[in-house]
Amino acid sequence: MSVSKKEYKRVTVKSLVDMKQQGEKISMLTAYDYSMAKIVDAAKVDVILVGDSASNVMAGHETTLPITLDQMIYHASSVIRAVNRALVVVDLPFGSYQSDPKEALRSAIRIMKESGAHAVKLEGGVEIKESVKRILNAGIPVMGHLGLTPQSIYKFGTYTVRAKEEEEAEKLLEDAKMLEKIGCFSIVLEKIPAALTKKVSESISIPTIGIGGGRYADGQVLVIHDLLGMTHEFNPRFLRRYMNLYEEMSDAISRYVSDVKSLDFPSKEEQN
């Protein structure tokens, strides 16, 4: 099966639209720090998302709500220093864009200016239309995010699949069309039925990136800690683990502890 159709030295928002037109699937992964981003970029992932999932996997919060704009900028600047090829998209965190469009623009400008990121991502549809428009008018590329939008978890009350009912599915489709119309370059579709992902992806010309949205999205995104098997207690149906890093790391660290205790480490050869 063909994987890559064209060599992209530097992935841009235009490259992603080209990939959709060429039928090439888009790969997206999260990263939050320099060392991880360097590996992800070297492996030719197309888009690196500095997701507000940093609130969960980096800071240990239960939800994405507590992470601040300053903290997102810190993570994004570390990632940007590592990246040569990927497009770097940064989440606007909860509370940095919901009040009004001016606040949204100020937050997006801070991310772009202080981290050097290439684009921002915002959660929501028609409710945040004016904010998205204002950010786009300032020349900042915007990725949308529909379906299970984790910043609204307390409204949903559960992390289960969204838009199973017709009314919610119709609204999602309308929101996707609206985000395309006002100028977003791509939309994340999180945890929705595969049939709806297909319908949305076929209805708009900008690429959709799925997480728990099935195989019909124009690309896929995962949280890097999940893909590597570091978050071993998190087992959603959509997750494919490519490693069991939790076990491998635990084993390596236990062996280190044991070597230190037994005076095996450092050996004569490992001292000056």
Q: Which residue lies nearer to ligand KIV by CB, 175 or 190?
A: 190
Minimum separation from the CB atom of position 147 to ligand KIV (A): 10
Residue-by-residue DSSP string for the chain: ----SS--SS--HHHHHHHHHHTPPEEEEE--SHHHHHHHHHTT-SEEEE-TTHHHHTT--SSSTT--HHHHHHHHHHHHTT-SSSEEEEEPPTTSSSS-HHHHHHHHHHHHHHH--SEEE---SGGGHHHHHHHHHTT--EEEEEES-GGGHHHH-S-SPP--SHHHHHHHHHHHHHHHHHT-SEEEEES--HHHHHHHHHH-SSPEEEESS-TTSSEEEE-HHHHTT--TT---TT---S--HHHHHHHHHHHHHHHHHTT-SS-GGG--
Minimum separation from the CB atom of position 233 to ligand KIV (A): 17
Active-site residue identified among 24, 114, 190, 202: 190
Minimum separation from the CB atom of position 20 to ligand KIV (A): 18
30 binds ligand KIV (CB under 6 A): yes
Q: Which residue lies nearer to ligand KIV by CB, 127 or 264?
A: 127
Minimum separation from the CB atom of position 256 to ligand KIV (A): 30
Rule CB under 6 A: which of 45-104 touch ligand KIV? 49, 51-53, 91
Structure tokens at 152: 């609204």
Rule CB under 6 A: which of 169-188 touch ligand KIV? 188
Q: Which residue lies nearer to ligand KIV by CB, 64 or 131?
A: 64
Instruction: Using CB positions, name the residue nearest to ligand KIV.
Output: 51
Minimum separation from the CB atom of position 64 to ligand KIV (A): 6
Let me know if 202 is a catalytic residue: no
Binding residue count for ligand KIV, defined by CB under 6 A: 11
Rule CB under 6 A: which of 205-244 touch ligand KIV? 211, 221, 223
Q: Just list the catalytic residues.
A: 190
| Contact set with ligand KIV (CB under 6 A) | 30, 49, 51-53, 91, 188, 190, 211, 221, 223
